Structure 1
Amino acid sequence: MRPGPLNLITDVAGLVVGNAHDARLRSGVSVLSAARPFTAAVHVMGGAPGTRETDLLAPDKLVQEVDALVLSGGSAFGLDAASGVMEALAAAGRGFAVGPALVPIVPSAILFDLLNGGEKGWAENPYRGLGRAAFAGAGTRFEIGSAGAGYGAMTGRLKGGLGSASAVLGNGLTVGALVAVNALGSATVGESGHFWAAPWEIDAEFGGRGPARAYPATEEPRPMKRTGEATTIAIVATDAALSQAQAQRLAIAAHDGMARALVPSHTPLDGDLVFAAATGEKPLAEALDTFALGHAAACTLARAIARAVYAATPQPGDLQPTWSHLFGT
C-alpha cells in the first residue's frame, strides 16, 4: 500500500473536490463530486450528528447513486450548503430522473463551528453560496489544513482542519479519504506533538515524528468542548465497483481509522460520521478485495485526520494554537 500521486482523495479517478470558505465567518464548505453519479453510503458513530438526505443511502432505498457529497461547517445552518450544490447540478442538467424532472441527490453532513470567533450574525444564510462556490471550484488538486469545511475547525487541544490522503493497494484498487476534523478528542498524544495516527504514517506526511514513547493509558479524559460542539465528518472513496451495502461496510470499517487518530472518538457528545463513495471503475476480483478495502479505508482516514491537524495554519483571532506553531514543521 502506497500513497497515490497527489495523496488526496482525488487519486480515485473521476472524483473532484472543491473548497470554499469565508474568513470573516471563519467557516467553509467542501464538496466531493464526479462527472457522473456514484454509489454512496453512510455510517454514523457519534451521538450528535447533523445530516441531510442520509436516509436514502440505506441499501433498501430507491436511489442507489448520488451526484455529490457535502461536508460543511455552520452546524444546522450549514445543511443549506447542499441547496447551493443542488442548484449548480440542476443548472448543469444533472439529477435523478423522475419523468421529465431531474432531482440532484446531494447528501451532506455538518460540524459545529459557531463558537470559534468568527462573525456569525448574518442576515442571510451564507452556506448556500459557499456550497455553490465550492462546487464551481472543484478539481483534482485542492488545499488541506485551514480550508473548506475545516477552515474554522477545532479539536480538544489544537486547531483542526481539512485533511486528505490516498492509498494504492497491491490489487490495483485505490482508496482515498477526505475529512473535516472538529473533534472532541485530541489528534496528538498528551502534551506532545506525536500523532495518535503515527503507526500508519507514510513518507513523513505529517512530520515523521513516529509514535510517542509513552501513552497516557490510565488517563480518564474529560471533554474540552461543550455538548454539541464537536464532530468529525469524513468521506472514504474507492474506484472499486461496490454495491450500496458493500459501500456501507466500507464506511463502517473506516471508523476504525477515526478511533486510531482521535482520542477519544465516537462519544455521545459528537456527531462522528463517515460517508463512503464508490465510482465503480474497477471490478472486485475476489472476496478478499473487500477485506483489503476496509483495512485501507481505516488506515487512510487515520492518515488524513493527522494531515488535517498538521497542515492547519494560524489565522488572526484563533482560539487554539496550530500544530505547526507549537511543534514546528
Structure 2
Amino acid sequence: MTLHLTPIPTTELVDFRFGHWTDRTGATGCTVVVAPAGAAAGVDVRGGAPASRETDLLRPENTVDAVHAVCLSGGSAFGLEAASGVARELEARGIGLDVGPAVVPIVCSSCLFDLAFGDAHARPGVDAGIAATRVALDDEPAPLAEGTVGAGTGATVGKLNGAECAMKGGLGARALALGGLKVAALSAVNACGNVVDPKTGAPIAGMRADAGSADIVSMEDAMIAAADTMAMPLDRTNTTISCIVTNARLTKAQCTKVAQMAADAYAHTIRPTHTTNDGDTIYVMASGTAKEDYPLDLIGLVATRALEDAICGGCRAADGILGLPAYADIAR
C-alpha cells in the first residue's frame, strides 16, 4: 500500500490542546500548546538572539523526561512571564510533575520581539498565559486560528530597510498525516528575512521597495548590493519560534534530532535565515501514542513539510494592522 502525506486539522493531534491569547491593540499575544499527559520533548536553537525558558532541561542527559506545555509569546524577554501563567493554571488542574509536596508543570517557552511594532509596554504576562491555557483546555477543540493572532499578532518580516518597508508576519498552524503518523507544526514568523513559497520561490511577505510599495524585493540581493554600507536598523529584534507536536514514539534525544531536521523548513521558506538578529527556536513534543514505530528520518521529513506549511500559511493568513500591509493586501 502506498501512503501519501495528507493535510489534517490540528485537532487530530488528540494528545495536545492549543490556545491563543491575542491583544490586537497592543500588537502582541501568546500561543500555548498543552500536553495534559506529558510528552517527551527536545529543542533546537539556531538563531543568535533567543529569549527562552527551560531549554536546558530538554538536554538528553538531564533527568526530566516529560514536558507539559510550550508557550510561544510576543513581548521579547518580558513575554516569558506568560509561561508562569501557563504553569499556574496547569498546577491548579493537577497537571505536572509530581514531586511529592507539589505538582510542578514543566513549561518551556520562547518569545519573539514585537515591542517596536505595537505598544512597547503591551506584553503577554501571567494573566495572558492563564487565559490561553484555559482556552486550550476548556474550549471545544477546533482547528487553531492562523494569521494575526496569538504569538503572531505583532510579528513582522523583511526588516533590512527598517520597519516602514516591512510586512506583517503571523502565526501558522498546519498538520499532516502519513498513515498512522501525525505531525502538527505551529510557527510565529517574525523573521528578519523574507518569507517565500518553497515550491516556487515566489515571495509571500517581506521587504518592500519602499514604504508605499507593494513590490517585495529580494532581501538577500539587497544585502549583497549594500555589502559595504549594510546596517541592521533593528538589531536583535527578530525571530521565528515554532512548536512541532507528534504522536510518534520518540525519546528526548530523538525529539531534538527531529527539531534539528525540521530547521530545514526555515532555510526553505525564510531568506536569509538563522541570522545573528534572529532567535530561531523549534520545540518538538512527542506523545508516543502512535500504534507503530516510524523511522526517525521519516518523522523529521514530515515535520519539515508541516513546518514549511505553517510558516507560509501564517504569513498568507495574516491581516495588516497598525498601517503595515500583509500578504492579502498586496497579493495579485
> Could you tell me the TM-score, scaled by structure 1's length?
0.85
Structure 2 unaligned runs (5+)? 159-165, 205-216, 224-229
State how far apart, in whole Å, the 2-side matches of 1:219 and 1:121 are.
Answer: 35
1:5 aligns with 2:13: no
> Following superposition of structure 1 onto structure 2, how do residues 199-278 of structure 1 map, counting pairs within 5 Å?
219=221, 221=223, 226-278=234-286
State how far apart, in whole Å, the 1-side matches of 2:240 and 2:260 are.
Answer: 14
Task: Give the residue type in structure 2 aligned to 1:307.
Answer: G
Cα shift at 1:165:
1.1
For residue 121 of structure 2, give the secondary structure of its aligned residue in structure 1: coil
Q: Which residue of 1 aligns with 2:315?
A: 309
1:324 aligns with 2:328: yes
Q: Percent identity?
A: 38
Q: Is the 8 A contact 2:170 2:189 kept in 1?
A: yes
- The farther-off stretch of 32-41 and 82-91 is 32-41
Q: Which residue of 2 aligns with 1:63?
A: 64
Question: Cα–Cα, structure 1 residues 247 and 218, in superposed 2: closer, same or farther, change >3 Å?
Answer: closer
Cα shift at 1:74:
0.1
Cα shift at 1:284:
4.8
Q: Which residue of 2 aligns with 1:164?
A: 173
Question: Cα–Cα, structure 1 residues 223 and 143, in superposed 2: closer, same or farther, change >3 Å?
Answer: farther
Cα shift at 1:104:
0.8
Structure 1 unaligned runs (5+)? 189-194, 207-214
For residue 152 of structure 1, give the secondary structure of its aligned residue in structure 2: coil
State how far apart, in whole Å, the 1-side matches of 2:240 and 2:151 are.
Answer: 10
Cα shift at 1:269:
1.2
1:81 aligns with 2:82: yes
For residue 157 of structure 2, give the secondary structure of its aligned residue in structure 1: coil
Cα shift at 1:164:
1.2
For residue 40 of structure 2, give the secondary structure of its aligned residue in structure 1: strand
State how far apart, in whole Å, the 2-side matches of 1:3 and 1:147 are.
Answer: 25
> For residues 265-307 of structure 1, what are the alpha-carbon distances to aligned partners after superposition, in whole Å with 9 as ceiling and x for unaligned?
1111110010001010015535xx2111111111111111000
Q: Is the 8 A contact 1:184 1:225 kept in 2?
A: no
> For residues 209-240 of structure 1, what are the alpha-carbon distances to aligned partners after superposition, in whole Å with 9 as ceiling and x for unaligned?
xxxxxx96982536765111100000111111
For residue 137 of structure 1, give the secondary structure of its aligned residue in structure 2: helix
For residue 240 of structure 1, give the secondary structure of its aligned residue in structure 2: coil
For residue 30 of structure 2, give the secondary structure of its aligned residue in structure 1: strand
Q: Is the 8 A contact 1:161 1:182 kept in 2?
A: yes
- The farther-off stretch of 47-56 and 157-166 is 157-166
Aligned length: 299
Report the aligned-residue RMSD. Answer: 2.2
Cα shift at 1:141:
2.3
State how far apart, in whole Å, the 2-side matches of 1:24 and 1:266 are.
Answer: 29
State how far apart, in whole Å, the 2-side matches of 1:258 and 1:129 are.
Answer: 31
Task: Give the residue type in structure 2 aligned to 1:147.
Answer: V
For residue 234 of structure 1, give the secondary structure of its aligned residue in structure 2: strand
1:279 aligns with 2:287: yes
Q: Which portions of structure 1, spanning 4 or more consecutive aligned residues, are displaced by more than 4 angstroms?
A: 215-218, 222-225
> For residues 34-73 of structure 1, what are the alpha-carbon distances to aligned partners after superposition, in whole Å with 9 as ceiling and x for unaligned?
2311111101000010001111011111101111000000
Cα shift at 1:82:
0.3
- Among residues 288, 296, 306, which one is paired with 2:302 in the alignment? 296
Q: Is the 8 A contact 2:188 2:241 kept in 1?
A: yes
State how far apart, in whole Å, the 1-side matches of 2:56 and 2:282 are.
Answer: 14
Q: Which residue of 2 aligns with 1:46?
A: 47
State how far apart, in whole Å, the 1-side matches of 2:188 and 2:62 are.
Answer: 27
Q: Which residue of 2 aligns with 1:129?
A: 127
Cα shift at 1:111:
0.2
State how far apart, in whole Å, the 2-side matches of 1:164 and 1:223 are.
Answer: 33
Task: Give the residue type in structure 2 aligned to 1:246.
Answer: Q
For residue 70 of structure 2, give the secondary structure of its aligned residue in structure 1: strand
Question: Cα–Cα, structure 1 residues 143 and 310, in superposed 2: closer, same or farther, change >3 Å?
Answer: same
Q: Is the 8 A contact 2:35 2:67 kept in 1?
A: no
For residue 143 of structure 2, give the secondary structure of its aligned residue in structure 1: coil
